[in-house]
Chain A
Amino acid sequence: MTDRLGLGLAWLLGLLFCAIAAAIVIYFLVEGIRYLRPDLLVTNPAPGVGESQTGGFLDPLLGTVIVGLLAMAIATPVGIGIAVWLSEFGRPTGFARLAESSVEMLAGEPSVVLALFGAVLFTVREVGFLSQTSHRIVLGQSFFAAAAMLSLVGLPMVVASTREGLQAIPSHVREASYAIGKTKIATTRRVLLPAARPSMITGTMLGLGRVIGDTAIVLLLLGGTLTFQPANSVPVLGLLRGTGDTLTGYIYYNAPTGDGNQPSKAYAAAFVLMLMVLVLNVGVDAVIRRSQRAVKWS
């Protein structure tokens, strides 16, 4: 009898969970479509009173893309390097285990704490060139600062995923490569990493998903100016040294609890952000499915 109850409860909760998930996704789809107008995507936020004057969220959208790409540009190579070291080298063992737990510990840290760490780090005078310095005041808020801390958020995903991919390769592949005289690093570069490419891509995309969804680091380290405020007029670097905003910061600002308080704009931005997350998820699924159909090691 209790078995039936247990099974029934499992079914109930399973369907309830589906219902809640569906409700959340559909809610944002519906409200987003209601409030999303194409001009919101191409106009910038502007100061003003009332919804008609405050513009769209072009710069925050670009900000999300910039910060995501920059953070993963740092996290992906570093993450792959660490994963290779953990999987292929990993001596001495004590150090390796310490490294493993360090990465896991990093994964568990709240992003508020990482944001505060960045706040200390980037206001040091010596790194003032990564943000802006004026009249002996180091601002400490810029795309560089935010992306640096966000890379720490995406790093554990890349490491875990790449490591899994590398460990899934049977050892006889490595042995065959060594047998014909290739060094370990050459084996890794030319045989293992290409084979683990789906995992690397998956890890990067998962990390990117976490990065574009983060708000705390963006709030503290990006300056929250709704439009780009470049530090100077040097094309790319001026922008990256300057302040700006991302979709998450924009949503937080325009939520009923934020200073901007324009729920319709928040819905529209949330819709776009959810689409991005959805696309990333679908991408991850596609990569996983394609890799499962790929060459099987004999």
Chain B
Amino acid sequence: MDEDDFLERDRGLSQDQRAELGLGALVFVVMALLVALFVFVLHEAWPSFAHNGLGWFGGGGSVDQELQAIARSGDFKQAPVYTFHAWPLIWSTIVITVGAVAIAFVSSLFIAVFMVEFAPAWLRRILEPVVRLLASIPSVIYGLAAVLVLVPFIGNHLITQGEKASVTPTIQLSGSSLLAAIVVLTVMIAPIMIAVFADGLRAVPRGWLEGSLALGINRWRTFWKVGVRTARPVFVAGTVLATARALGEAIMLSMVSGGVGFAPNPVDGLMFFFEPSRPLAATIIAFDEELSSPPMKHTLYAIAAVLLFSSAMLSVIGWAAKQPMRRYGVVP
């Protein structure tokens, strides 16, 4: 007791001020780590961007062959090769992400509405923990299930010999394809969206809904027009969250997307969905063992930088989208 008083008088800083400084320093350290993340990744990524300029994002040439050349150029006395055109990987990422998010959005919207408003109580009690459970299943388990069940199914029952013959020898059609990737990714991100959407819908002030009901509008239309419209910012936030998750998914996609740096061609019609590809995050995993070779390292970090910035931007958009909800005094 006496010592505390003594020290306080000596230091001139109250307990609270010390605590504030201490905790503030902790916050600062974590923020500094985030900054360090950006700095380190960009620093390692710079050579790859510098050598390729904007062509880094473009197409031209086989991206797999370019990666092979990069890997092999890590040799001692050879000049390092950095030529890299990531378009097939970017296209794969876009198609898979947009496809999964689109399907998941529509489904999650209806399921969340169902869960919050129309499901009978017993079903709701089952659905809510199930959604939470599905959202926490590790991605490698989704990947395992897909590789053992979905991929062989697509390969054996949906792909015909004629289709395989028509694309050989450019690519080989097996079950690992866009279709498998989009389906599994949808199932993976839907629970996240459902959880966020449901939270938002539950936060809509009851009075507004009851007012609408009192005017004689039926339950479905009330919920749709009033509830869903009010919670619109939450839908943006949830979609953004799910998109960030989809973008960053590497493990599951490296198992089911086909593992070839090929840009699927929409002109191929239905076969488009059976074509293999490899999104950005999965490419990092596929080549991670060659990480120590400098040109490959810079290329992989460049890919990571693209992912880093995309997720950061999505974070900012999601955060900004939640602001309107705060105005209503409704914070999910």
Contacts and interface: CB of A to CB of B under 8 A. Distances in A.
A176 B137 CA distance: 43
Given A113-B248, A152-B33, A185 B19 contact: yes
Contact of B118 (A7, A78, A284): A7
Contacts of A257: 143, 147, 254-255
B107 to A, nearest CB: 5
Classify the interface of chain A: helix, strand, loop or mixed. helix
Given A81-B23, A110-B307, A255-B143, A14 B115 contact: yes
A215 B148 CA distance: 19
A101 interface: yes
Contacts of B44: 116, 120
A174 interface: no
Given A256-B147, A256-B148, A274-B137, A185 B311 contact: no
B52 interface: no
A266 B15 contact: no
A119 B293 CA distance: 13
Nearest to A155: B30
Contacts of B137: 24, 213, 274, 277
Contacts of A155: 30
A220 B37 contact: no
B72 to A, nearest CB: 21
Interface in A62-115: 78, 81-82, 84-86, 89, 91, 98-114
Given A6-B224, A112-B307, A277-B137, A20 B187 contact: yes
Count class of interface residues, chain B: 35 or more
Contacts of B255: 252, 255, 257
A187 to B, nearest CB: 10
A281 B136 contact: yes
Contact of B141 (A89, A114, A184, A274): A274
A39 interface: no
B110 A110 contact: no
Given A3-B218, A103-B30, A113-B41, A82 B23 contact: yes
B224 A114 contact: no
A110 B190 contact: no
Contacts of A89: 19-20, 23-24
Interface of A: 3-4, 6-7, 9-11, 13-14, 17-18, 20-21, 24-25, 27-28, 78, 81-82, 84-86, 89, 91, 98-114, 116-117, 119-121, 152, 155, 183-186, 188, 206, 209-210, 212-216, 219-220, 248, 251-252, 255-257, 263, 266-267, 270, 273-274, 277-278, 280-281, 284-285
22 contacts: A14-B127, A21-B130, A28-B141, A78-B30, A81-B27, A89-B23, A109-B37, A109-B308, A110-B307, A110-B311, A112-B284, A112-B285, A113-B308, A113-B311, A116-B284, A121-B36, A255-B143, A255-B255, A256-B148, A257-B255, A277-B136, A281-B129
Instruction: Give the 5 A-B CB pairs with smallest separation, nearest first.
Output: A110-B248, A213-B138, A185-B19, A85-B23, A10-B114
